[in-house]
Amino acid sequence: MKNLANFAEIVDEAARTAKAIPQFVGDDEMTLDEAYAVQAMSVSRRIQRGERRVGFKMGLTSRVKMEQVGVSEVIWGRLTDAMRVEEGGVLDMGGYVHPRVEPEIAYLMKKPLSGDVSPMEALAAVEAVAPALEIIDSRYENFKFALGDVVADNSSSSGFVVGGWHAPETDVANLGIIMKFDGRPVEIGSTAAILGNPIRSLVAAARMVARSSERLEPGYIVLAGGATAAAHLAPGVHVSCEFQNLGDVEFRVAD
Ligand code: OOG
Ligand code: MG
């Protein structure tokens, strides 16, 4: 029998100590349900250390992200309060293995949502929408993984920055994005890259988390997934991202 709790401990310790580990599995060695079970157990370890659940992140919801990591399935992970980076704040790379940053859209939930829902039903459960940056960090050596590995590793969750909140009816279907390092554009894209419209990512989140007996809870943040490829962070870099109609999000990496 596979010792899923042991996998959970290994991946959680790798995240806690920011030390890279070898890939666990090819996809045939761990089923997807087992990988999500490992993820749940590893996040429980964080909760036992005093962290608090604050939401979910969707991953690989754009073609460019799928191509960047060579995995072509939509995935999800769990967010805790310890992953939140203050907007305009400073990120210390010491807590990460090889972090990258990507532009996203964040939803704030006002009503619970779970299972099969329409985009209209999903939107009716939203309190607000915001521009966001996700800081992802794979705990696997060379940022290399198969589907089961990345899901077990909480879908590379490690940090997120949320900008100003807007009314839920704000149209975020196709907004231009320019992500800059030290004022120079590094990634340019559109929110439409996220499944054609980020609301579809919220619909997918409601459906997918239900399989693990979870639901999107009131007060939860849901990150819709990267709209562009992720860019490697380096010490001292100032990251800023302009979202058409939504405003800017920024942070700095400590030297
Ligand atoms: C997997 C997580 C993907 C996204 O927004 O697509 C993700 C990874 O790229 O390491 O967060
Ligand atoms: Mg992401």
Nearest CA to ligand 1 atom 9: 69
Tens digit of pLDDT for each residue in 44-92? 999 999 999 999 999 999 999 999 999 999 999 999 999 999 999 999 9
Q: Which of 99, 101, 134 is nearest to 18 (CA)?
A: 99
Percent of the chain at pLDDT > 70 equals 98
Three-state DSSP at 40 gives helix
Is there an atom of ligand 1 within 6 Å of 55 CB? no
For the CA of 226, the nearest atom of ligand 1? 5
Q: What is the CATH number of the domain that holds 202?
A: 3.90.850.10
Query: What is the per-residue pLDDT for 24?
Result: 84
Q: Which ligand is nearest to the CA of 229?
A: 1
Domain hosting residue 109, numbered range: 4-253
Count up the domains in the chain and report the number: 1
Ligand 1: which atom is nearest the Cα of residue 138? 10
- For residues 15 and 133, is the Cβ–Cβ distance under 8 A? no
pLDDT at 225 over 90: yes
Strand pairing of 100-109 and 90-91? unpaired
**49-53 long-range contacts, Cβ below 8 Å, gap at least 24?**
51/80, 51/81, 51/82, 52/80, 52/81, 53/78, 53/79, 53/80, 53/220
Read off the pLDDT of residues 181-197 as tens digits, 9 standing for 90 and up: 999 999 999 999 999 99
Select from 241, 252, 232 the least CA-distant residue to 105: 241
pTM over 0.95: yes
